[in-house]
Chains A and B, each alone.
Chain A
Amino acid sequence: MFSADTLQKFAREVAKYPAEQKQSAVMACLAHAQEEKGWLPPEAIEAVADYLGMPPIAAYEVASFYNMYDLKPVGKYKITVCTNLPCALSGGYHAGEYLQQKLGVGYGETTADGKFTLKEGECMGACGDAPVFIVNNRSMCSHMHPEQIDKLLEECK
């Protein structure tokens, strides 16, 4: 189900917790699983549960509780825009609108070519750098005005 590299990452996470508390690693393992698969298909969630010796339903609960897990396929690039108030005061809404215009999709949608998924997000703890985006849960982009947005989209090959 998972590559050797991903399994190694799982092991590293499990080692952080007391031996009888393997379930503590479920969030990190789901994140690594998603990183490998692009999203979290049910088989991946079950395989993580199996790896950690916990009931699959408990792993599902976690996967559906936290916002950054994708339980449905997403585009190659998932762009999450912060529109919470501090960012909105410095252009968060407009950056999101500009992105929607350029990609021709709304929040929660994926472009027809499967390349981009757009999401509206909550405070990313970077409000001083507004407007801010996160690409694929990992890469934070600051000061996203039209010029920078154009550049970002060009770089997403």
Chain B
Amino acid sequence: MAMLGAINPVLMAGLNGDDSWRLKDYVARGGYEQLKRILQTGMTQEDVIGEVKKSVLRGRGGAGFPTGLKWSFMPRSFPGDKYVVCNTDEGEPGTFKDRDIMRYNPHAVIEGMIIAGFAMGANRGYNYVHGEIWEIYKRFEEALDEARAAGLLGQNILGTQFGFELFAHHGYGAYICGEETALLESIEGKKGQPRFKPPFPASFGLYGRPTTINNTETFASIPFILKMGGEEFLNLGKPNNGGTKLFSVSGHVNRPGNYEIPLGTPFSTLLEMCGGMRGGRKLKAVIPGGSSAPVMPADVIMDCTMDYDSISKGGSMLGSGAVIVMDETVCMVKALERLSFFYHEESCGQCTPCREGTAWMYKVVHRIENGQGKPEDLDLLNSVLGNIAGRTICALGDAAAFPVQSFLKHFGSEFEYHIEHKTCLVPKDVQWAGSGFHKIPA
């Protein structure tokens, strides 16, 4: 199913599961009309960027940077190849929205990228697709073939002077390639190791050419923004937080899945849409924006609305919109152990503070979880944290530190309990029951 629930949906409106992703369905929903309008009524690049700015669309990949502003950094009249790159690497634990956008509305991504190409004077684009979603990648390639056959891609689009080529690039299992400069290295056929910035991609990007990278959901929003007008899109959300957004809800709710809701919707409403807590249990904590966002205790998130500003005021980040819900059956030490393992595994190893720091964090949390923690371990973790912040090439170092810092801050007593009693506060069978895993047949 495309969406388990929605309030005023935009990106996912009018979809009918697997039956409505094709070009003809998208066109029937008004698709490619905005591209036509732009090319056939003589809209300028400034007009398009102006509309995106008005919408206050903020990047949906994690950082929430205003898209219109990012687009205005591209040196549009710089001669030669310029690139637009879509980030469908979606590896941030908890995030599965881009997969559904690509699965059910791939042409919205394509139209958004073509319009972006026009607005920034770019003539080529790539969409970098997460390695694990082969079927979605294949479908996207089919959608590209459809667009090409209809004259929506290639030279002289819709009989105009404007040309734009677009291809899909399939990843093969590396979280770090979601970082935009690692992604560019990866498209160039190298190891996905982030580049030093500056220079920024707008001046030195793919193959050293000016490049703009946006998330899948960001591009997919573009045709709708042009259709309804920037101002109306903005008004769907709240000031400084324009539009609707997809939230991927996972963990201890009755109906995990994707939900498209206006930014500014109360967290409690989203939780209700998910059918409430599994088994009616009590909410303990929520990671609101993918595993790299600081964890929030139940009482704090229950007072928040789902938008960049409210979640940031509550001490976390809206990030990719991946809402990981945890109830009282969760052992916070074990939860953090798994996240720390992930960052340790996925660190690309270029910077010593990140490579060594993520290894240390995992080692220490692992031993606490396994009853071998020492009283001084919590101080040790804090000192490792201090050595990572601000000392790395890319944000993975910080992303690894945020969970540790926030888990210790809000749930430190559980770590102390583990160290003192060499076991968990939450019995193993309670943790099992909380997972909802079916009983193994005898």
Q: A interface vs B, CB < 8 Å? A: 16-18, 21, 23-28, 30-31, 52, 54, 58, 61-62, 65-69, 83-95, 98, 121-131, 134, 137-140, 145-147, 150
Q: Cβ of A89 and Cβ of B346 under 8 Å apart?
A: no
- Complexed CA–CA distance, A69 and B170 (Å): 13
Residue in A67, A94, A121, A130 whose CB lies within 8 Å of B256: A130
**Proximity bits, B53-82, A CB within 8 Å = 1, else 0:** 000000000000000000000000000010
Q: Which residue of A lies closest to B96 (CB)?
A: A125
Closest 8 CB pairs of A and B: A91-B437, A67-B173, A23-B189, A68-B173, A86-B250, A145-B438, A66-B172, A16-B167
Q: Which of B35-43, B130-138, B152-160 contacts A (4 or more CB under 8 A)?
A: B130-138
Q: How many pairs of residues, A versus B, come closer than 8 Å at their CB atoms?
A: 186
**In the complex, what residues of B have CB within 8 A of residue A86's CB?**
93-94, 250-251, 291, 322, 324
- Asked if B437 and A95 sit within 8 Å, CB to CB, the answer is yes
Knowing A123-B93, A145-B437, say if A88 contacts B338 (CB, 8 Å): yes
Would you call A146 and B96 a contact (CB within 8 A)?
no
Q: A27-B186, A61-B190, A145-B438 are in contact. Are A122 and B91 (CB under 8 A)?
A: yes
Residues of A within 8 A of B90 (CB): 125
Cβ contact within 8 Å between B131 and A90: no
Which chain A residue shows the least CB distance to B165? Answer: A16
Cα–Cα distance between A140 and B435 once the two chains are bound (Å): 21
Given A93-B435, A123-B92: A128 and B250 interface contact (C-beta under 8 Å): yes
Q: Is the CB of B99 within 8 A of A54?
A: no
Say whether B432 faces chain A, with CB atoms less than 8 Å apart: yes
Tell whether B366 is near chain A: CB-to-CB under 8 Å.
Answer: no
Instruction: Please tell me if the beta carbons of A85 and B134 are within 8 angstroms of each other in the complex.
Output: no
Chain B residues closer than 8 Å to A88, beta-carbon distance: 335, 338, 435
Whether the pair B190, A128 counts as a contact (CB closer than 8 A) is no
Report the Cα distance A16→B175, complex, angstroms: 23
User: Which of B167, B256, B432, B441 is in CB contact (< 8 Å) with A146?
Assistant: B441
Q: Is the CB of B98 within 8 A of A125?
A: yes
Contacts of A69 in B (CB 8 A): 172-173
On whether the beta carbons of B438 and A85 are closer than 8 Å, the reply is no
Nearest-neighbour CB distance to chain A for B8, whole angstroms, equals 21
Query: Which B residues touch A140, using CB under 8 A?
Result: 132-135
Per-residue CB contact flags for chain B residues 243-279 toward chain A (1 = under 8 Å, else 0) read 0000011111000111000000000000000000000
B169 CB-CB contact with A under 8 Å: yes
Which residues on the B side are within 8 Å of A129 (C-beta)? 96, 256
Inter-subunit contact B131/A123 (CB<8 Å): no
Using CB atoms, name the residue of chain B closest to A89: B251
B211 within 8 Å of A (CB atoms): no
Q: Judging by beta carbons under 8 Å apart, are B134 and A138 in contact?
A: yes
* Residues in B neighbouring A23, C-beta threshold 8 A: 188-190
Q: B417 at the A/B interface (Cβ < 8 Å)?
A: no
User: In the complex, what distance in Å separates the CA atom of A68 from the CA atom of B335?
Assistant: 25
Nearest CB in chain A: distance from B401 CB, A: 16
Tell me which residues across on chain A come within 8 A of B438, comparing CB atoms.
Answer: 91, 145-147
Write the chain A residue with the least CB distance to B97.
A125
Mark contacts of B334-367 with chain A using CB atoms, 8 A cut-off: 1 yes-contact digit, 0 otherwise: 0100110010011000000000000000000000
Asked whether A83 and B338 contact (CB < 8 A) given A27-B186, A90-B250, the answer is yes
Give the shortest distance, in Å, between B49 (CB) and chain A (any CB). Answer: 26
Q: Is B171 an interface residue (CB 8 A)?
A: yes
The answer on a CB contact under 8 Å between A125 and B133 is: yes
Given contacts A18-B207, A67-B173, A67-B174, whether A24 and B249 have CB atoms under 8 Å apart is no
The answer to whether B190 touches A124 (Cβ under 8 A) is: no
> Which residues on the B side are within 8 Å of A121 (C-beta)?
132, 173
Q: Is the CB of A66 within 8 A of B189?
A: no
> Does B28 belong to the interface (CB within 8 Å)?
no
How distant is B348 from chain A, measured CB to nearest CB, in Å? Answer: 8
Give complex CA distance A18, B82 in Å: 12
Q: Which residue of B lies closest to A34 (CB)?
A: B172
Q: Counting CB contacts under 8 A, is B221 at the interface?
A: no
Known contacts A85-B93, A90-B435, A122-B342; decide if A65 and B187 are in contact (CB<8 Å).
no
A58, A122, A137: the one within 8 Å of B93 (CB):
A122
List B contacts of A145 (CB < 8 A). 437-438
Please tell me if the beta carbons of A18 and B435 are within 8 angstroms of each other in the complex: no
- Known contacts A122-B93, A128-B257; A28 and B170 CB within 8 A of each other: yes
